[in-house]
Amino acid sequence: MKLSRYYINGVGIVSPQRTFDNAEFLNEITHYHENVLHCVLPEFKDYINPIQLRRLSRMLRVGLSAAVICVRDSGERAPDGIITGTGYGFLHETAKFLEEIYQYNEKQLTPTYFMQSTYNALAGLVALTLKCKGYNNTHVNKGFAFETSMHDAMMHLATNISQNFLVGAFDETDKAQYTIHSQAGYYKTESIDSVELFKHKTIGSLQGEGAAFFSISGTRGENVWCEVADLKMIFCPESGDALRVHVTEFLSANNITTNQVDVLVSGLSGDVKHDEILNMVIQEFNHATDVRFKHLSGEYCTASSFGCWVGASILKKQRIPDVLRFNQVIATSFKTVLIINQYMGRNYSLVLLKSV
């Protein structure tokens, strides 16, 4: 993987903040008070033709819009491959089909909900829309789904650096799933202001959603955002020390020390139990600006894609909006961003981004 260099040449993201306009960087912050964060939606008509639009579920619209924004941002580079990652896929359509199965006792059912509940429906839709007949894959491995999609693209690009891949990740909020997961302790029981998430040192996080696409290539594009230097996934590290060792090894494999990391983007979720190990590791990075993002995105399997957008934005725009900062480290330029994410205290990922 380190034999090649990889560039993010375009980005498109729809999230619980107003992020679909790449000219902005968290200019406007949306607060949520019911522990569920919904996407701030773009005007779909701007990205999807009306005949295609009417057939699409909400999340397919969100995902396709993000993909189109990304392709336009990359200078309309037609992708050679499309890879998406998701944790729970299309929960609304899954729920609707299940509910119809019960309501109609398995008779007189219609195909649309079933078809649109399949995990690879977005990757297929983007391929259809862009007429991309190249490599196409969908990863559904929980908190690693985004990173695996990125890694999958990087392995292909290593053998052909001139190609470019669209790597996307998405997940959606859903009432039924929220109810089920609430009972398993996933979410805060007290209602809070989402932006104040890290002031509440209690169990549980907030349910979030979003879709983010990145145009990745082995060659620099005109609108390049940053370089993806390396990534690593760690499943269930035994302890804070074990995670620390993984991080140190990762950095040294990239000839970097902790002091050379300018910005640490951490995927703390606000759940005091799940954040424990990650908090231990964050303390090693006292020279870096402490950036967090799940108070803006909420928590979901592929939330690290929002984190990746945050890191890439910092490197491209060379500034950090105050709402992201969680310590007093002031810097004037940013060259190296390390993203450390955790999902449910089980899926840990490291992504190293560099400015170009």
CA dihedral defined by 234, 237, 243, 249, rounded to 10 degrees? -50
Applying CB under 8 A, the span of 29-37, 112-120, 218-226, 246-254 interacting with other proteins comes to 112-120
Looking at 24, 25, 141, 280, which residue binds other proteins (CB under 8 A)?
A: 141
CB within 8 Å of 171: residues ≥ 6 apart = 86, 87, 88, 89, 208, 209, 210, 300, 301, 302, 303
Residues 222-281 interacting with other proteins (rule: CB under 8 A): 233, 235-236
3-class DSSP assignment, residue 337: strand
Question: What letter would DSSP give residue 262?
Answer: S
Single out the residue of 78, 155, 245, 331 in contact with other proteins (rule: CB under 8 A): 155
Q: Can residue 111 be called a binding residue for other proteins (CB under 8 A)?
A: yes
Phi first, then psi: what are they for 236, rounded to 5°?
Answer: 45, 65
**107 touching other proteins, by CB under 8 A:** yes
128 forms part of the interface with other proteins (CB under 8 A): yes
The tokens for 96 are 């609707």
List 29, 40, 101, 356, residue binding other proteins (CB under 8 A): 101
d(CA 130, CA 31): 35
Are 66 and 131 spatial neighbours (Cβ–Cβ below 8 Å)?
A: no
Closest CB to other proteins among residues 29, 242: 242
Among 78, 180, 245, 331, binds other proteins (CB under 8 A): 180
| Shortest Å distance, C-beta 263 to other proteins | 27
Total Cβ atoms within 10 A of residue 256? 17
| Complete DSSP assignment for 80-127 | SEEEEEESS--HHHHHHHHHHHHHTTTSS--HHHHHHTSTTHHHHHHH
Shortest Cβ 143–other proteins spacing (Å): 8
Binding of residue 201 to other proteins (CB under 8 A): no
Binding mask 46-85 for other proteins (x = CB under 8 A): ----xx-xxx--------------------------x---
Among 6, 47, 90, 144, binds other proteins (CB under 8 A): 144
Whole-angstrom distance, CA of residue 106 vs CA of residue 270 = 41
**Binding window for other proteins (CB under 8 A); candidates: 11-19, 95-103, 281-289, 317-325:** 95-103
Within 304-333, which residues bind other proteins (CB under 8 A)? none
Q: Which of 160, 214, 165, 227 is nearest to 6 (CA)?
A: 227
Identity (one letter) of the amino acid at 35?
N
Residue type, position 260, single letter:
Q
If the CB atoms of residues 89 and 264 are measured against other proteins, the closer one turns out to be 89
User: Does residue 88 interact with other proteins by CB under 8 A?
Assistant: yes
Separation of alpha carbons 66 and 84, rounded Å: 12
d(CA 30, CA 41): 12
- The verdict on 136 binding other proteins (CB under 8 A) reads yes
Least Å from the CB of residue 278 to other proteins:
19
Residues that bind other proteins (CB under 8 A): 1, 50-51, 53-55, 82, 87-89, 91, 94, 97-98, 101-102, 105-112, 114-115, 117-121, 123-125, 127-128, 130-142, 144-145, 148, 152, 155-156, 158, 176-177, 179-181, 183-184, 233, 235-236, 301, 346
